[in-house]
Chains A and B, each alone.
Chain A
Amino acid sequence: MAMTDFTIITRSMTARMFSTVTTVVTVAVAVGLMLLLLSLRKAGEEAFSRGGGNMHLLVSRDSSAMVSVLNGIFYANAPQRPIDWAKYEQIISSYPIDWAIPTQLGDSYRGHPVMATTREFFTKFQPDPSRPWALRDGRFFDKAFEVVLGSNVARRTGLRLGEKIVLTHGISEDGHEHPEFQYEVVGILEPTGTSHDRALFTDLESTWIIHAHDRRLRENSSAMRTTAADLTPADKLITGLYIALPTREGSRVPAVLQQVFDMMRRDTSITVAQPGDETRKLFEIIRNMNLLFVGMAGVVMVSSGISIMLALYNSMEQRKRQIAVLRVLGCSRARISSLVLTESAMIGLLGAAAGIAVWVVGSQAAAAILKDVLGLVVTPRLDAPTTLIIVLATVALASLAGIVPSIAAYRTSVARNLRPIG
């Protein structure tokens, strides 16, 4: 194979390996960061818009609609103020409701929230409106003290069907346990890509029984056994209500939504939220932050361009003799400067390619962190046009950065750089 400009450039890059690698890494980090933020922005929006699924309204007694959504859908905290059963019955009888699913949060298993609810949670509610719940293993709960695991819980705890577990009252580690009430794992869910993947699901009655047992122990320490028969209306507490309103065929937005929402809001004893609205608001906050981050990533990209320029410009001193030799061999000034410019563009291209690798690793890490910390399931994806634009912009930026060094190369005096130095 004959020597080509490309070989000369690669030789030049490998001759100064440390500088080349450092510069490529600088570009890669900038590109990776940019891609990461762009992809997370999209994935974040998707993740936030799921979760609420096909419910139209979320009722709770949290301090605000936003808190209610964060607690009730994203499992941020256990709601502090419960709704009693009478209120629940009043709500479902007062409004035109397709379905209303009572939920109660407050217990946990090794830090994973436990959602106590009814079978309808699996038959009516869909966290991702396009997909019904699916079981990877086992069945949904049928009776008290049976538990179904979200996919993440199953993965992280390694629990299997038939295993017996004890729940903790309260989300925090110092909550107390009820060893006398054991739950049996009867089902493991397929991933839904929503916050619900990190929860365990059981029926309301079991939870009520445990708390009734606590109450009875406080009243009379000799109480040994508590059953459904011992429940009083005061034990039957819930913390949230997933509500769907009737929709006409082919429509996803109920005609009565706004009307019902406004009516419910007049009831000051409850907080009512339209999950879609709240997640949009939440996302607006994040979007602005995200723009800031994307801007910062842009600045990092520009500074990586400057570091390409510095690296190439600083290498000119070492290269002067090589440039002079090439000129003697017949290489023109223009070709010399195009070699430098191409080298700069290649550093940009390599950096962009490495940046995509950085993105692959970084997005996995970011997704894992978001899932662990926020319970937010994101699947960062890059669409081809965005990626292409970023890659091309990087190469363009790198070429721009190569201009000054390439002018320096153009001006290199041959006669002055061929004599032995000193």
Chain B
Amino acid sequence: MDSRVMALGIRDLKFRYAAGSAWVVDVPALDLEPGEQMLLTGGSGRGKSTLLNLIAGLIDPVEGRVFVGGTDIHSLHGAARDLHRGRTIGVIFQTFNLLHGFSAVENVMTAMMFSTIPRREHRARAQQLLAHLGIDRPDANPDRLSVGQQQRVAVARATACDPVLVLADEPTASLDPENAVTAMDLIQAICREKNAALLCVSHDPSMKDRFERQASLEELALGEAAPMPGAGTGRRG
């Protein structure tokens, strides 16, 4: 991938639920380089998750563009957008959202179903990744794993297809402090390893020390995101 292509590029992104109401999301510009990690803070409200949904192309903005891996995700429609999301974005949820009735390795392999990874490599790669993340029982049902291990399975699933961008939505909120530390170490390490940009949404104060780059949604609206050097050149669709 061209190093000049941003992992994430947001331009003039605006969203509100009803015409005439206040903007829930108003981000003039935000760029993340490949491998860059950023913390998005702020009190509880719908704004942060809405932003993540906009970036993942799960809801459409009123205005603006979101480039993921150089492609405006909102310019894609239907199956093409779903495929682009599956191949370029990994999502880690607060509640893990593991698939019930699927083993740990099956959860990871399900993510690969929609990738370009050759099918015969799916199981081996999933097992390898789970082992790398410290899961020694890849065939166990996640219900039978500890909460900390469930989060690792979720991390493995989010990073299985080598995404350019990982979105983490309150990834530690369901974990005790000890597990939270481990989980964040893991998430940040694997993203670095895979050169995936990480956008982490959290209101956990202990996160502050982990990220060089931080902003609240309000700061983003005011234009905090002074583009990093070389930013702002993300291709416009």
A→B interface (CB under 8 Å): 1-4, 7-8, 11-12, 14-15, 321-322, 324-335, 414-415, 418-420
Contact = CB atoms under 8 A, between A and B. Distances in A.
B99 A420 contact: no
Contact of A327 (B82, B113, B119): B82
Q: Which of B111, B112, B113 has the most chain A CB atoms inside 10 A of its CB?
A: B113
B95 A420 contact: yes
A148 B79 CA distance: 77
B86 A414 contact: no
Given A2-B123, A334-B79, A414-B58, A325 B86 contact: no
The 3 closest A-B pairs by CB, nearest first: A330-B86, A330-B114, A332-B79
Given A2-B120, A326-B99, 17 more contacts: A2-B112, A2-B113, A2-B123, A3-B109, A3-B110, A11-B99, A14-B101, A321-B97, A327-B58, A327-B82, A328-B97, A330-B82, A333-B78, A333-B82, A415-B58, A420-B94, A420-B95
A415 B59 CA distance: 7
B82 A415 contact: no
A3 B78 CA distance: 22
B58 A330 contact: no
Nearest to B78: A332
Contacts of A324: 97
Given A2-B112, A2-B123, A332 B97 contact: no
Contacts of B56: 328
Given A11-B101, A333-B78, A418-B93, A328 B85 contact: yes
B97 A330 contact: no
Contacts of B53: 414-415
B123 A330 contact: no
Interface of B: 49-50, 53, 56, 58-59, 78-79, 82-83, 85-87, 91, 93-95, 97, 99-102, 106, 109-115, 119-120, 122-123, 157
Contact of B109 (A2, A328, A414, A420): A2
B77 to A, nearest CB: 10
Contact of A329 (B49, B101, B110, B120): B110
A330 B87 contact: yes
22 contacts: A2-B113, A2-B119, A2-B123, A8-B110, A11-B101, A11-B102, A12-B101, A15-B101, A324-B97, A328-B86, A328-B97, A330-B83, A330-B86, A330-B87, A330-B111, A332-B83, A334-B79, A414-B58, A415-B53, A418-B93, A419-B49, A420-B95
Q: Which of B58, B59, B87, B95 has the most chain A CB atoms inside 10 A of its CB?
A: B58
Q: Which of B50, B78, B97, B120 has the most chain A CB atoms inside 10 A of its CB?
A: B97
B118 to A, nearest CB: 9
Q: Which of A3, A324, A334, A335 has the most chain B CB atoms inside 10 A of its CB?
A: A3
A117 to B, nearest CB: 69
A321 B100 CA distance: 10
Contact of A325 (B85, B99, B106, B109): B99
A322 B100 CA distance: 8
Contacts of A329: 86, 110-111, 113-114, 157
Nearest to B98: A325
A328 B91 contact: yes
Given A11-B101, A328-B58, A330-B86, A4 B78 contact: no
A335 B106 CA distance: 18
A367 to B, nearest CB: 42
Contact of A418 (B97, B111, B112): B97
Contacts of A335: 79
B68 to A, nearest CB: 13
Contacts of B91: 328
